[in-house]
Amino acid sequence: MLQDLCPRGLHGIFERFRGILHEGEIDKRVQFLIESLFALRKAKFQGYPAVRPELDLVEQEDQLTHEVSLSDTIDPEITLDIFKPDPNFLENERKYEELKKAILGEESEEEGESDAESEDEDEDDESDEEDEEQMKIKDETETNLINLRRTIYLTIMSSVDFEEAGHKLLKIKLEPGQEMELCIMLLECCSQERTYLRYYGLLGQRFCMINRIHQENFEKCFVQQYSMIHRLETNKLRNVAKFFAHLLGTDALPWHVLAYIRLTEEDTTSSSRIFIKILFQELSEHLGIRLLNERLNDPNMQDSFDSIFPKDNPKNTRFAINFFTSIGLGGITENLREYLKNMPRLIMQQQKP
């Protein structure tokens, strides 16, 4: 609706959202919701009609558009706040009834009376059916969901290789909205292993390539896992980090998910630093330091990497440089080192009148 009637206003709203994303001072969940809005806008709000079909009751030729401007003078009609008895109440009621008959027709009353009589006659017959409907039991124990998770788990654990597992999992009939369960169970099985198995990365990669829905769900899983990474044991944390490193290294998962990571001393914990360390070390092994550096310096993706290589504060910049140097990946911080070196000169230039 806004896209058609007020495109400039809608554009202004989304530009403000873009500015909020660039500031990077919002919660991860809010950041994800804003990015979801951009995705909906790119898809021209498909699946979100301006007027739902069940509410579209007025025919097109009978619709009247009332345009209201904020600059118009408004009459508050304060006198309507005070009750005043109508001296011609009965006469006005009679006029109202005549007007109603003229609009709805005189048959409406007769139909109403006949319907009332028929309803009284059928009440006894319908009461039994209503009792039967009320007796229907709704299962709130999520038995179906538990059975689905068990089926997915057994399929993953019993398959010889990832291709067989993928073939069997695709045969499972999923209800709309249950695709997320497949991704969650795959990640859960991966985290439970004593050591990381490439089998899970290949299976996750295959699902991301087959259906974009699975790719989006794994992106949500990345956000959820990183937000509660402090709850995972070291072994589970390592497996999860290597799993996502495989998806990123094979381009099965878009690299903009790294925007959810903010590498500063205040925004990270010991668990999240271990996760980031393993993630980037695995990416370095997958791609090599040269190719990894090229990917991280891609000008089209800098908005997604600003949170990993912060330039908002010299303290945060030094922290990021020291972090990557300590894990043996100082080579990917060359641009950040150059920026830190030139920062005093840039500040002086900005302060000049």
Is residue 263 within 8 A of residue 320, CB to CB? The reply is yes
Contact call for residues 172 and 145 (beta carbons, < 8 A): no
In a domain, 267, yes or no: yes
The answer to whether the CB of 331 falls within 8 A of the CB of 281 is no
Angle at 262 between CA 259 and CA 265, to 5 degrees: 170
The Cα–Cα gap between 106 and 96 comes to 14
Residue 308, in any domain of the structure: yes
The answer to whether residue 197 sits within a structural domain is: yes
Q: Which of 52, 57, 18 is nearest to 38 (CA)?
A: 18
Q: 298-338, pLDDT tens digit by residue?
A: 888 888 888 888 888 888 888 999 999 999 988 888 888 88
Tracing tokens 């009461």 back to the chain, one arrives at 127
Cα–Cα distance measured from residue 205 to residue 225, given in angstroms and rounded to the nearest whole number: 18
Number of domains in the chain: 1
Does the residue 16 lie in any domain? no
Domain range enclosing 185: 143-351
Considering the domain boundaries, does residue 269 fall inside one? yes
pTM: 0.59
136 lies in some domain: no
Task: Give pLDDT tens digits for 99-117.
Answer: 888 877 665 555 555 555 5
Is residue 199 in some structural domain? yes
Residue 136 in tokens: 């229907």
Contact between 198 and 246 under an 8 Å Cβ cutoff? The reply is yes
Q: What CA–CA distance (Å, rounded) separates 125 from 108? A: 26
Residue 205 lies in a domain: yes
Mean pLDDT of 73-77: 83
What would the pLDDT profile of 122-131 be if each residue is shown by its tens digit? Answer: 555 555 555 5
Q: How many CB atoms lie within 10 A of CB 241?
A: 24
Q: What is the CATH number of the domain that holds 169?
A: 1.25.40.180
**Residues 77-105 pLDDT 10s:** 888 888 888 889 899 999 999 888 887 76
